[in-house]
Amino acid sequence: MHVQQDGHGLTDRSTPDLLIGIRRRVARSPARYNLGDGWIDIPTDRPHTVAAPPLTDIDYRIDGPSELIILAAPAHRLAAAIDSPALVERLAPVYERPFQDPMFQLLAMRAWAEAERADGLFVDSVALTLFSTLLSAADARREDRTGRSPPADLRFTRVIEYIDAHLDEDMALADLAGVACLSPFHFTRAFRARHGVSPVRFVQRRRVERAMGLLLRPGSRIAGVAHACGFADQAHFTTVFRRLTGTTPGAWRAARRP
């Protein structure tokens, strides 16, 4: 999506997509955004790129005109396409602040131009290159901060595997901390630093992502999906689903069925 807009303040409601915003032209006026953990200043002296995880409301306050290219990709499909099951979590460092990469912006503009000509194969190829580049930027930023690359610590890989294998069950913070061989306090701090969200928020996202797949199965019942994804009951499921997506499970499913 190519967007030109004047100064504004708004909230983009959460979607299942991973969102990338490439701001090409900027005004020298205050601008910032909030992914739920506090406001992040946006550079006003140069083009930049902003990334946001799926199932996250995004608040913006931009005082001057701007021009953006917005890319959206279903997170689970993208993760499979570039063979990175924990893609959303690995990208956490680039959610924390904007980054600058002129080549990334050039690729995005080329993808936009080809999309208008309906060259789907080329667009898919460039999109994968873009998101692979973004992943490399996240890994490099994490290495700069911690002095080691993500694969060096397998504890959090085991935690994510444990979460995905037990989404239909109750999970206590102590259980997850035990998998990582850390105290609950240190686990919570380390998990947030690595993945950009708390363990509780992460588990809720995983439950909702699985629920989305189940909701689209023929004959599925909302109460059954709630139980299969570890929610206390249908009301609890609806509350969490609405908070993360901005709509109810029933309305979300109805909007995606023929």
Task: Match 């194969």 to its residue by tokens.
Answer: 121
Tell which residue, 30, 61, 49, 47, has the closest CA to residue 95: 49
| Ranges in the chain annotated CATH 1.10.10.60 | 153-254
The pTM score is 0.54
The stretch 167-175 carries a mean pLDDT of 90
The pLDDT of residue 152 is 39
The stretch 217-237 carries a mean pLDDT of 93
Report the distance separating Cα 249 and Cα 237, nearest Å. Answer: 8
Residue 165 has pLDDT above 80, yes or no: yes
Please write the tens of the pLDDT for every residue from 177-186: 899 888 888 8
Tell which residue, 199, 215, 191, 202, has the closest CA to residue 244: 202
The separation between the first and the last C-alpha atoms of the chain, rounded to the nearest angstrom, is: 24
The pLDDT of residue 83 is 60
The pLDDT of residue 126 is 66
Residue 149 has pLDDT above 50, yes or no: no
Q: Which two tokens stand for residue 51?
A: 């990334």
The stretch 71-83 carries a mean pLDDT of 72
Domain 2-146 part of CATH 3.40.50.10210: no
The pLDDT of residue 55 is 82
CATH class of 153-254: mainly alpha
Residue 48 has pLDDT above 60, yes or no: yes
Residue 136 has pLDDT above 60, yes or no: yes
- The mean pLDDT value of the chain amounts to 79
The pLDDT of residue 151 is 45
Strand partners, 18: 73
| Percentage of the chain lying above the pLDDT 70 cut | 79
